[in-house]
């Protein structure tokens, strides 16, 4: 099993750990301290050593920030986690605050009216974040102070840092050699008169060097740093045990493997104009470069955009991964449909069985994130993760929301299906159909090249809006190629400003959540491609090709709410699913799929 259901945090630890942190603050003569959900690489997933926010507060979500003063503490979470945080955090110790509606700077100004010194670990915050926060606080005589991590001082049994082996990623799956990638990025540095780029994002480094790792769960990357020179040479900073001779030979003579501890000295040795990503690089990096006399040039990590635009080999890999994963999903859905109505299953049973179906492919490297499996009211918790304490029975007459994904060497998958358990709850049919209309609308949408996610996000919400409904998360996120299931810079949301380009893979996942009752989400992955129509258009247009292959539960659909074009799309999609997956299924599962994909 990849997923672990042990509950690792409880609200009752908040008070003593908060007290220990405040003792460390007093010793450091600080009036406050920032505790982000981050490591030095600013990734969504962090190793156990860096789970400081969870250790302090009990909150285990993938995004959040605790702000602690000597007598108050607040935790900021976004719309995905507003139900989860209530269950995990002691509200007597921490005030739960809504981000981005409520901002840390405003809260600090309110709670430190006389000013004060706020400490932060410069390894765990980007320069853009600290600059924005510092400007807002400075107007009120509140200063930000770089300091050692005070949580680490209080966390006596903190786990050690990871150092898993680094392995080559096949060029046939990447579609481009590392030499080609490095040459392209180096040309961009030369064009901007930059001597080097400091790379701190593990997935960027993994993409650039065609390597993968195992330092964090769910994302096959090594937690390393790198410096790329304008001469296309790279220095990779890693633990020596991570890189065997075979890997060094694969990397070639233009890639030097250095000790992780040599990173600081290498920054000190850089001169001239050096590219640093203001949003993602820890402020420690720019501080070090500036102190050494280099000119820091703020620029987006140069690997982010080319990594997001998948090669034809990566797109073919994604199709292969979704074909394999689709067969596993159908076997799972057929099993669930047969067994769940009799009762006796719990959420953990469902998650473990789904993982077993994927493992049976013989190709599963990991799950791409901890499965979200919410029965009944738990489905309304957008990023719910079942544990031994929360495990709920899958009861007949309720909805079950299952959001899951897999890591195969060919690609990364992410799929959500919502199904009824036995009798269909009548009150769920209309919202389910409205969510489906949103999925279909965006999947069919064409748009002029140059538009971004924010320009088409509303297409997926329109049917819900007309009914006075909405959801509090983005419609879709970028997805990596055997990398992170959440990948930028592209996304489908009101914040999505990066133009969508051919080859980008994204999720399309509208939803609806009724607190205390059920959650609904239907999710497919898509890749941006030139559309088949219109043939006689006057402008360059783009559209989506759907990658995910799995039936959408027809029992929850009100056909009367679907337009003829929407019915046609669904029927064609189901026909494609049936044709693609049937050869990979046993006879009984194939019969189930044929019924599930029958035309509406």
Which structure tokens are listed for 51? 């789970």
326 and 357 in contact (C-beta within 8 Å)?
A: no
For residues 599 and 578, the answer to whether their CB atoms sit within 8 Å is no
The CATH 3.40.350.10 domain(s) of the chain lie at 11-154, 167-302
Report d(CA 321, CA 139) in Å as an integer. 52
The correct CATH number of 11-154 out of 3.90.1520.10, 3.40.30.10, 3.40.350.10, 3.20.10.10 is 3.40.350.10
DSSP string, 451-487: -BHHHHHHHHHHHHHHTT---SS-SEEE--SSS-SSE
**Residue 421 near residue 400, CB atoms below 8 Å:** yes
Q: How far apart are CA 400 and CA 412, in angstroms?
A: 23
Q: What is the pLDDT of residues 577-586, one digit of tens each?
A: 999 999 999 9
Residue 430 token pair: 């209309």
Gap between the Cα atoms of 383 and 373, Å rounded = 9
The CA radius of gyration of the chain, in Å to the nearest whole number, is: 24
What does the alpha-carbon distance between residue 253 and residue 190 come to, in Å, rounded to a whole number? 21
The residue assigned the tokens 């820091």 is 296
> What CA–CA distance (Å, rounded) separates 406 from 409?
10
The C-alpha atoms of residue 438 and residue 460 are separated, in whole angstroms, by: 4
- Cα–Cα distance measured from residue 102 to residue 356, given in angstroms and rounded to the nearest whole number: 42
Q: What is the rounded distance in angstroms from the CA atom of residue 97 to the CA atom of residue 81?
A: 11
CB contact at 8 A, 35 and 61: no
Residue 375 to residue 349: CA distance in whole angstroms: 12
pLDDT at 534 (0 to 100): 62
Q: What is the topology classification, in CATH, of domain 309-591?
A: Creatine Amidinohydrolase (3.90.230)
Instruction: Determine how many CB atoms are found less than 10 A away from the CB of residue 193.
Output: 10
The architecture (CATH level 2) of 167-302 comes to: 3-Layer(aba) Sandwich (3.40)
Closest alpha carbon to 82 in 380, 461, 347: 380
Low-confidence ranges of the chain (pLDDT < 70): 532-535
Q: Per residue in 281-315, pLDDT tens? A: 999 999 999 999 999 999 999 999 999 999 999 99
Rounded CA gap, 228 and 205, in Å? 10
Q: What pLDDT score does 535 carry?
A: 66
Which phi-psi region, left, alpha or beta, contains residue 554 (left: φ > 0; alpha: ψ -120 to 50)? Answer: alpha
Count of C-beta atoms within a 10 Å radius of residue 530: 12
For residue 65 the two structure tokens come to 């920030």
- pLDDT for 80 equals 81
Which residues of 22-141 form beta strands (DSSP E)?
32-36, 65-69, 73-77, 95-98, 116-120
């Amino acid at each position: 099993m990849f997923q672990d259901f042990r509950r690792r945090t409880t609200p009752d630890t908040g008070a003593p750990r908060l007290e220990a942190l405040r003792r460390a603050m007093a010793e450091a003569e600080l009036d406050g301290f920032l505790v982000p959900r981050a490591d030095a690489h600013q990734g969504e997933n962090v190793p156990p050593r860096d789970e400081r926010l969870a250790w302090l507060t009990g909150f285990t979500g993938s995004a959040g920030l605790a702000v602690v003063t000597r007598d108050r503490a607040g935790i900021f979470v976004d719309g995905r986690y507003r139900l989860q945080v209530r269950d995990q955090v002691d509200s007597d110790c921490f005030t739960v605050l809504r981000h981005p509606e409520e901002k840390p700077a405003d809260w600090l100004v309110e709670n430190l009216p006389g000013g004060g010194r706020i400490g932060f670990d410069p390894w765990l915050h980007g320069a853009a974040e600290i600059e924005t926060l510092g400007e807002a606080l400075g107007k009120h005589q509140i200063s930000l102070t770089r300091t050692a991590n005070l949580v680490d001082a209080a966390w006596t049994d903190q786990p050690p840092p990871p150092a898993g082996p680094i392995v080559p990623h096949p060029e046939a799956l990447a579609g481009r050699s590392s030499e080609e990638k490095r040459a392209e990025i180096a040309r961009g540095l030369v064009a901007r008169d930059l001597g080097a780029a400091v790379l701190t994002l593990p997935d960027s480094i993994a993409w650039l060097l065609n390597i993968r790792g195992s330092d964090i769960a769910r994302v096959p990357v090594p937690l390393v740093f790198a410096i790329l020179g304008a001469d296309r040479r790279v220095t990779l900073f890693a633990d020596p045990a991570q890189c065997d001779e075979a890997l060094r030979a694969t990397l070639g003579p233009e890639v030097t493997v250095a000790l992780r501890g040599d990173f600081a000295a290498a920054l000190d040795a850089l001169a001239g104009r050096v590219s640093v990503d203001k949003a993602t690089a820890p402020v420690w990096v720019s501080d070090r470069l500036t102190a050494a006399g280099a000119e820091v040039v703020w620029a987006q990590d140069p690997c982010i955009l080319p990594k997001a635009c998948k090669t034809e080999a990566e797109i073919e890999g994604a199709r292969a991964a979704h074909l394999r994963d689709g067969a596993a999903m159908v076997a799972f859905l057929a099993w669930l449909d047969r067994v769940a109505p009799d009762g006796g299953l719990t959420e953990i049973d469902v998650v473990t069985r789904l993982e077993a179906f994927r493992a049976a492919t013989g190709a599963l490297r990991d799950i791409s994130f901890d499965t979200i499996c919410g029965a009944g009211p738990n489905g309304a918790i957008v990023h719910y993760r079942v544990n031994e304490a929360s495990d709920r029975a899958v009861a007949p007459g309720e909805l079950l929301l299952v959001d899951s994904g897999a890591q195969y060497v060919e690609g990364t998958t992410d799929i959500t299906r919502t199904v009824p358990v036995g009798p269909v709850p009548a009150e769920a049919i209309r919202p389910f159909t409205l969510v489906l209309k949103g999925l279909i609308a965006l999947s069919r949408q064409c748009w002029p090249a140059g538009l971004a996610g924010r320009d088409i996000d509303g297409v997926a919400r329109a049917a819900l809006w007309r009914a006075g409904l909405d959801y509090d998360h983005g419609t879709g996120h970028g997805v990596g190629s055997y990398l992170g299931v959440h990948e930028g810079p592209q996304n489908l949301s009101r914040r999505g400003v990066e133009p969508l380009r051919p080859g980008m893979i994204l999720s399309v996942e509208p939803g609806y959540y009724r607190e205390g009752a059920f959650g609904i989400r239907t999710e497919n992955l898509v890749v941006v491609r030139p559309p088949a129509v219109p043939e006689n258009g006057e402008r360059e247009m783009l559209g989506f090709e759907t990658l995910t292959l799995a039936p959408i539960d027809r029992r929850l659909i009100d056909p009367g709410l679907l337009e003829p074009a929407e019915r046609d799309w669904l029927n064609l999609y189901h026909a494609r699913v049936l044709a693609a997956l049937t050869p990979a299924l046993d006879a009984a599962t194939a019969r189930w799929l044929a019924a599930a994909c029958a035309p509406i």
